[in-house]
Amino acid sequence: MIITTCGNSQKIALRVARQLQALYSPLTISSFPDGDIYLKYNVEVKDKVVVIIHSFQPHPNQSLYQVIFAAETAQDLGAKKVILVAPYLAFMRQDKRFHLGEAISSRIMAKHLNSCLDKIITIDPHLHRYKSLKDIFTIPATCLTANELVAQYIQKHFRQAVIIGPDAESYQWAKAVAKTIGAEATVLQKKRYSSRKVEVEMVYHLEMKGKDVAIVDDIISTGHTIAEAAKKAKKLGAKTVTAIGIHGLFVEDAIVKLKKAGVDRIVTTDCIEHNTNKIDVADLLVKELKK
Ligand code: R5P
């Protein structure tokens, strides 16, 4: 087995390779003077299982074509199998045509990956309108979850946490985490006016006064969703607010926004490399790749 990466997930790829005692060899990727992609394997991949570990953040669009080039090249060089491990899989939130004429990005992404991979493994993809990855992938697609790891983190660092899911879409994560540790949980009702404007309401009231609140979401992107939830929790008397994201994208000024909203701590998994990473998902991947 050869573990490689297009660049985004180097730390995790190296850790996984070490634990599997597999050869780690990152791809050489650069551009020709005119901007065309240049990609090269630095080891013999013929008859080998090639595992590309690459999160689709930062640079989701570039990541997609890099992965396609990497997978097709491996196939072309005679690899036995090509597996993509995408700890964060982008494009999943565009799972329908919200406005006339829009691309359904998740379907297009999956169509391209179906044609060049033997298998895809990902962690907590944003499955909202899709019931499972099977709705868009024709290749074997494994969906792992970091819920257990998030629950363990909360158990270790909180005396008695109250969990908030900031919207209906993310409640599946908050609810699962709360159930594992026997904590109280509630979901907020979110109204999204645009990519950068949301409002939240607490429909099912839960006592926040003096409590340590953990807001659990699958994705923290612009930070608006969690910022609004944090303001609500603080207004209701929460002692501390911790934002926990499986995938911390932190686009634009998300961190500043979260701090301004009263978030005391930001915690993410290392599905996307970031200085808020506190929860390590390498073991999840190792266990799956050993199967
Ligand atoms: C969507 O509903 C997701 O679960 C997240 O709540 C959302 O993607 C977060 O986006 P943002 O940080 O831009 O509000």
Q: What is the pLDDT of residues 149-208, one digit of tens each?
A: 999 999 999 988 999 999 888 888 888 999 999 988 888 888 888 777 878 787 778 889
Instruction: List b or e across 34-51, with b for residues whose CB sees 16 or more CB atoms inside 10 angstroms.
Output: eeeeeeebeeebeebbbb
Residue 224 CA: which ligand 1 atom is closest? 14
Residue 109 included in any domain: yes
**Best mutation site among 194, 219, 228, 249 for ligand 1, i.e. most ligand atoms within 8 A of its Cβ?**
219
- Lowest-confidence pick of 106-110, 127-131, 188-192, 224-228: 188-192
Residue 262 included in any domain: yes
Question: Residue 8 — pLDDT band, cuts 50, 70, 90?
Answer: very high
Note whether 82 and 156 are same-domain residues. Answer: no
Check if the beta carbon of residue 170 is closer than 8 Å to that of residue 217.
yes
Residue 14 has a pLDDT of 97
User: Which residues are catalytically annotated?
Assistant: 190
**How many separate domains does the chain show?**
2
Mean pLDDT of 66-80: 98
Residue 276 included in any domain: no
pTM for the whole structure: 0.94
Question: Residue 29 — pLDDT band, cuts 50, 70, 90?
Answer: very high
List the residue whose alpha carbon is closest to atom 7 of ligand 1.
Answer: 219
Residue 173 CA: which ligand 1 atom is closest? 4
Residue 198 has a pLDDT of 79
Note whether 118 and 161 are same-domain residues. Answer: no
* pLDDT for 104 beyond 90: yes
**Best mutation site among 218, 232, 244, 258 for ligand 1, i.e. most ligand atoms within 8 A of its Cβ?**
218
Residue 111 included in any domain: yes
The CA 17 to ligand 1 mean position distance, Å, reads: 32
Residue 82 has a pLDDT of 98
Per the structure, the complete domain to which residue 165 belongs is given by 147-270
Note whether 66 and 103 are same-domain residues. Answer: yes
Q: Is ligand 1 within 6 A of the CB of residue 95?
A: no
Q: Is ligand 1 within 6 A of the CB of residue 147?
A: no
Q: Is ligand 1 within 6 A of the CB of residue 263?
A: no
User: DSSP string covering 77-146, please?
Assistant: TT-SEEEEEESS-TTTT--S-SSTT---HHHHHHHHHHTT-SEEEEES---SSSSSGGGT-SS-EEEE--
Residue 175 included in any domain: yes
The CA 195 to ligand 1 mean position distance, Å, reads: 9
Residue 259 included in any domain: yes
Note whether 126 and 259 are same-domain residues. Answer: no
Residue 258 has a pLDDT of 97
Residue 78 has a pLDDT of 98
- Residue 243 belongs to a domain with what CATH number? 3.40.50.2020
Residue 129 included in any domain: yes
Residue 167 has a pLDDT of 87
Note whether 51 and 156 are same-domain residues. Answer: no
Q: Is ligand 1 within 6 A of the CB of residue 222?
A: yes
Residue 275 included in any domain: no
Distance CA 90, CA 121 (A): 13
**Mean confidence (pLDDT) of the chain:** 95
Tokens linked to 154: 């909360």
